[in-house]
Homo-oligomer: A and B are copies of this chain.
Amino acid sequence: MAADANNNGSLLKFGLPKGSLQDSTISLLERAGWKLRQHHRNYFPDVNDSEMKCSLCRVQEIPRYIADGTLDLGLTGKDWIHETGHDKDVVVVSDLVYSKVSNRPARWVLAVAGDSPYKRPEDLAGKKVSTELMNFTKEYFEDANIPVQVEYSWGATEAKVVEGLADAIVEVTETGTTIKAHGLRIIAELMQSNTQLIANREALKDPAKLKKIQQIDMLLHGALDAESMVGLKMNVPEDRIPSILDELPAITAPTVANLWNKDWVSVEIIVNQSVVRDLIPKLVELGAKGIIEYPLNKII
């Protein structure tokens, strides 16, 4: 069996998504602490960790390889785990919400021509639906008791409706921009999906592999969380500390240190980047000076 070929002891076989998620995954791994070097032909990127071996695979194929033990651990989409029927065969270690363009979950939506009469899924009874996600789409319409003809789409699915080759499509989108740019209208959201870290059941029973998986899981989350967090440091008069601390979002307790020869202290906190633009004007008003913001690589 092909799968046995790389099966050497406790070396963790880790499958990474090839294609649209590839660059952001490799960059996330690097921030988490693993450097990958890709070669011209992309089989096994080198990784600077002798306890694991990485393969680049299609997201559609990773669930199958995890289920049959060809791989021990993998990053793939919740949507494809379900579509390929491997929900029960793999263990979901955790959810990691990131993507090529945004950090929002992806949505599989049902869309029709903007000027078509269809308003709800049931209006599509007897019509043709084109999608890359055949099993899920059939399941959805069967559960809803709406008889439709589901056809496999080899790509450019949005164009199918425009070209008159289908009446509706089930397609993935993050922001809806491509859907709208084709003049289509979304009439239902059928499923949300995001990247998941999944593991082979047997691999989790091997203590060495389990430890490696937990390390990877912790540090991937640490790197992902750090993207939206920053460090803030400011100088404050000692007597203003209480009023300033009242304003600070309480993630962890602030660090305080002295300023040289002054009745002031330095206060340092870690906050979500999105609150900084509102927080800084308040801090200034409360008497903080010399406020600096600095970037983080990881936060655990």
Contact = CB atoms under 8 A, between A and B. Distances in A.
B58 A155 contact: yes
A99 interface: no
A165 B65 CA distance: 8
A181 B256 contact: no
A41 B214 contact: no
Given A292-B298, A293-B298, A253 B257 contact: no
A259 B256 contact: yes
Contacts of A43: 159, 162-163
A284 B218 contact: yes
A18 B156 contact: yes
Given A163-B44, A280-B219, A297-B295, A253 B261 contact: yes
Contacts of A218: 280-281, 284
A50 interface: no
Interface stretch (A87-95, A192-200, A202-210, A262-270): A262-270
A9 interface: no
Contacts of A215: 277-278, 281
Interface in A32-62: 32-34, 37, 39-44, 48-49, 55, 57-58, 60-61
Nearest to A267: B260
A144 interface: no
A159 B18 CA distance: 12
B266 A259 contact: no
Contact of A292 (B41, B270, B281): B270
A270 B151 CA distance: 49
A300 B277 contact: no
Interface string A158-190: 010111111100000001010001100000000
B284 A292 contact: no
B291 A299 contact: yes
Contact of A296 (B61, B294, B299): B294
A101 to B, nearest CB: 8
- 6 nearest CB pairs, A to B: A33-B277, A5-B164, A252-B290, A293-B298, A255-B266, A58-B154
24 contacts: A1-B127, A2-B165, A32-B277, A33-B276, A39-B177, A58-B156, A215-B277, A222-B291, A222-B293, A226-B293, A230-B297, A241-B260, A252-B259, A254-B259, A256-B260, A266-B268, A284-B300, A290-B300, A291-B298, A291-B300, A292-B297, A292-B300, A294-B297, A295-B297
